[in-house]
Amino acid sequence: MREASYRTTALVGLGWLVTVVTAVIAGAVQSAGEQTCDDATSWCLTPGEAAVLGLALASPVLLAMILIVLVLAGPFARRLPSAPLAGTLTAVVAVPVAGALGGLVLVVAR
């Protein structure tokens, strides 16, 4: 059985993360209609500003998912013959692992 290359596996996994983040941002910015802040009681964000703020707040989680993909790409590439399959699985596994690590950090920090 031929094993997938680490580089290709990591690039596929990172590509999935970039694709999903870009789709979420594009959907958030495009789905909002015309917004005015005239009737806002406190502060108001346009959809573009909200996307930038959300990306800034989510950056620790995104960094954790990137690191998890890079760590898992090696074992997955050794065990699976297809780099696209291995990369896709690393991206899929990175999401719940990052969520579990985030929950663990919140519990420990409490």
- Cβ proximity of 18 and 91 under 8 Å: no
Query: How far is Cα 62 from Cα 91, in angstroms, rounded to an integer?
Result: 11
Q: Is residue 84 part of a domain?
A: yes
In a domain, 81, yes or no: yes
Domain membership flag for residue 20: yes
Question: Is 10 contained in some domain?
Answer: yes
pLDDT of the residue at 91 = 95
Q: Is 41 helix (H, G, I), strand (E, B) or coil?
A: coil
**pLDDT the model gives residue 24:** 86
Assigned domain for 36 exists: no
> What does the pLDDT read at residue 33?
65
Spatial CA neighbour of 2 closest among 62, 108, 81: 81
Closest CA to 93 of 108, 107, 80, 109: 80
Q: How many domains does the chain have?
A: 1
Q: What pLDDT, on a 0 to 100 scale, did the predictor assign at position 46?
A: 76
40, part of any domain: no
Specify if 85 maps to a domain.
yes
Range of the domain at 53: 6-31+45-109
pLDDT score at 102: 85
pLDDT the model gives residue 19: 96
Banded pLDDT at 44 (limits 50, 70, 90):
confident
Domain assignment present for residue 66? The answer is yes
Q: 46-102, pLDDT tens digit by residue?
A: 777 888 888 888 898 899 999 999 999 999 999 999 999 999 999 999 999 998 988
- pLDDT at 32 (0 to 100): 61
Mind listing the pLDDT tens digit for each residue in 1-23? 677 899 999 999 999 999 999 99
